[in-house]
Structure 1
Amino acid sequence: MQLTFPGFLRRQFTKQAPVVNADLTSKTVIVLGANTGLGFEATKHFATMNPERLILACRSQSRGQNALDTELEAATGYSKAELWIVDLGDFESVKQFADKFERDGGRLDILVANAALSVRKYEATKDGWESSLQVNDLSTPLLAFLLLPAMIKTAEQYSTIPRLVVVASEVHHWVKIEKKVLENPDMIKTLGSSEYCTPKIMSSRYMLTKLLNVFFVRALNARLPPSTPLVIDAVNPGLCRSELMREAKGIQVLLVWVILRIVAFSAEEGSRQLVWGALAHPDKPEKLRGEYISGSQVEEVNDFVLSPQGIKAQNQLWDELVEILDTVDPRVTAIVNKYLSSTPA
């Protein structure tokens, strides 16, 4: 499938289905990027379903605390939410978050990997990676790997099927990986290097990071044994009015404002897709394993992902990702070897 611009507009003007509901009593939910936008709206929805634990994973202590103290309880009446700090632009912060969960978290039923960064110029993190690539495509998988044992243990102990929801986007339809990168033995390192990240490349960087999100979900699912009671899916919330566009400057501010006002969903409407990926098909959750979700239904990913070239790239990206993250935390390789197949299904 290849999404066209008219198809995108039709989707944006389609009324969104009501939010899916479930009883989350006794369950634990983590939402990354939970203090604003899609993450906060999804958190509010989950709060109305009475989870035993609802963890807001946020980068900013002050903004997270404000969402927790003055907005979430007032909007939902839920008073048990917890604020945990994690900065996806810092591998050490991700590791500390995972360590804290290993000590204090207990069961984990739903992980919504919503945090994302959209930038238009190259900036390196303290770890030496282009910032949006690290946040969207390195730290997000790192946290998913480190929390995977808790999700599988939860499934075994409580006879349930946890879910990992990775927030992707329809914009993955409009970008490809350049041939010179595909032919490079170090694709991820190339994509994250200052030499490669020219202004032209950075103009489509967000779209590329969302393509890599799709690859990660498909690669992880392909290596998860079918008998493992865990659902992993990628969700497109659509174009929404959120703080993701806060990097816009100058005339871009006006253009973004006009576009968002005319065609964008509200953050609450977009958040319904995140909740759908986390809760839909409770009787047959296997329907969503490894799938790309848009408009409250499973849709086909773009043609490049499904092509022989895309499949080859997906497998190479997986191998490189595991190798890179193993240098960050050796537990990654141990987890991959213990819980995942060495070759894709």
Structure 2
Amino acid sequence: MRLSFWSFVVEQWKPQPPVVKADLTDKTVIVLGANTGIGFEATKNFATMNPGRIILACRSQSKGEAAIEKLKAETGYSKAELWIIDLADFASVKYFADRFEREGGRLDILVENAAIGSFTHKPTNDGWDISLQVNHLSTSLLAFLLLPAMIKTAHQYSTTPRLVVVSSGAHYWLNIKKNLYEDPEVLKTLGSAEYCADPKNMQDRYPLTKLFNIFFVRALNSRLPSSTPLIVNAVNPGYCYSELRREFSGILAVVDWLMEKALAFTAEIGSRRLVWAALSNQEQPAQLRDGYISNFKAEEVSDFALSPEGVKMQDRSWDELVDILGKVDPRVATIVDEYLSQNLVG
């Protein structure tokens, strides 16, 4: 699928439906990046549906606590919990997963929303570019580590949990060069200081990480046995007012300001798409399996992602991702073998 600029404009101007509702009594919801923007607004929407637990997964203690108080004031929901996680630190992700294994119980909905939109390279203590680690590596690591809890929930409570990875329609406009899609260690290349030192290479960093989110969802689904009662999808929240673009400066900032005034959704409207991906099609949830959700329906991903070159890049990056994360936490390899190896693709 190709997305023209005019198609993007038309989609942004369409009337948006109200938030979908469901009974979340006794269910547990985790939202990453829940203290601000579409993450907070999605959390607010979930809070109106009487969930047993909502866990706000945030990096900042103070901002998370403020979000808890604001959530209570605006919805009356008083059972929200703040759990700290820093996706720029693999140890923090592992600690979060360990804590959930000890204290979490059931897990019905995981919305992986946290992301960084940056044009500059900043290395993490783990040695990766911060955007690549936060947006893709750590997002995937947490999904792997919480996968057993979601599948256990499915069997124990006869339900179908959902993993929602927030991607972006910006992936449609990427121009992937041959040297990248043929690179067997593309993640290591993209994370290297040498590659990131070129400002031209960093211009596409955010949409590229969002493409990898889609690759992760598609690759995970292709390896997840169809009998597994778990729905995994990627969702495009649309073009929203967001702190993601706070690094914009000069003419780019001016253009973005004008575009926001003309086209941007509010964060609450954008959050409705996250909630839709997490709750819609309750009677036939399998219709959303492996879906790329945009404008409240499943749509095709980019032509590149569907091309032979894109599929090869997806499979290579999956193998590399499992290898990288398996060294970060040996449980990743165990989880892949136990839950995904029955349906491996060639």
Which TM class, normalised by the smaller chain length? over 0.9
Distance between the aligned counterparts of 1:313 and 1:82, measured in 2? 38
CA offsets, 1:113-152, max 9 Å, x none? 0001110111111111111000011000000000000000
Distance between the aligned counterparts of 1:288 and 1:124, measured in 2? 36
> Which stretch shifts more, 334-343 or 93-102?
334-343
1:291·1:299 contact (CA, 8 Å) conserved in 2? yes
- Equivalent position of 1:140 in the other structure: 139
What secondary structure, in the 3-state scheme, does the structure 2 residue paired with 1:195 have?
helix
Distance between the aligned counterparts of 1:238 and 1:200, measured in 2? 25
Q: CA deviation at 1:17?
A: 1.0
- Equivalent position of 1:299 in the other structure: 299
Q: What fraction of aligned residue pairs are identical, expressed as a percent?
A: 63
- Equivalent position of 1:259 in the other structure: 259
CA offsets, 1:172-206, max 9 Å, x none? 10114321122222111001111112111111111
> Which stretch shifts more, 136-145 or 258-267?
258-267
RMSD between superposed Cα atoms in Å: 1.0
Question: So what's the TM-score if we normalise by structure 1?
Answer: 0.98
- Equivalent position of 1:196 in the other structure: 195
Paired amino acid for 1:203: Q
Q: CA deviation at 1:248?
A: 1.9
1:44·1:76 contact (CA, 8 Å) conserved in 2? yes
1:216·1:314 contact (CA, 8 Å) conserved in 2? yes
2:236·2:293 contact (CA, 8 Å) conserved in 1? yes
What secondary structure, in the 3-state scheme, does the structure 1 residue paired with 2:193 have?
coil
Instruction: Tell me how many residue pairs correspond in the alignment.
Output: 344
CA offsets, 1:208-233, max 9 Å, x none? 01111111000001100000000000
- Equivalent position of 1:277 in the other structure: 277
- Equivalent position of 2:21 in the other structure: 21
Structure 2: give runs of 5+ residues left out of the alignment.
Answer: none
Distance between the aligned counterparts of 2:46 and 2:14, measured in 1? 24
What secondary structure, in the 3-state scheme, does the structure 1 residue paired with 2:257 have?
helix
Distance between the aligned counterparts of 1:310 and 1:26, measured in 2? 41
- Equivalent position of 2:56 in the other structure: 56
**In the alignment, is residue 232 of structure 1 matched against residue 232 of structure 2?**
yes
Q: CA deviation at 1:251?
A: 4.1
> Which stretch shifts more, 177-186 or 312-321?
177-186
2:181·2:310 contact (CA, 8 Å) conserved in 1? no
Q: CA deviation at 1:29?
A: 0.1
1:176·1:208 contact (CA, 8 Å) conserved in 2? no
1:118·1:244 contact (CA, 8 Å) conserved in 2? yes
> Which stretch shifts more, 139-148 or 167-176?
167-176
> Which stretch shifts more, 247-256 or 131-140?
247-256
What secondary structure, in the 3-state scheme, does the structure 2 residue paired with 1:25 have?
coil
What secondary structure, in the 3-state scheme, does the structure 2 residue paired with 1:43 have?
helix
2:150·2:161 contact (CA, 8 Å) conserved in 1? yes
- What pairs with 1:26-175 in structure 2 (closer than 5 Å)? 26-69=26-69, 71-175=70-174
Distance between the aligned counterparts of 1:140 and 1:181, measured in 2? 21
1:113·1:167 contact (CA, 8 Å) conserved in 2? yes
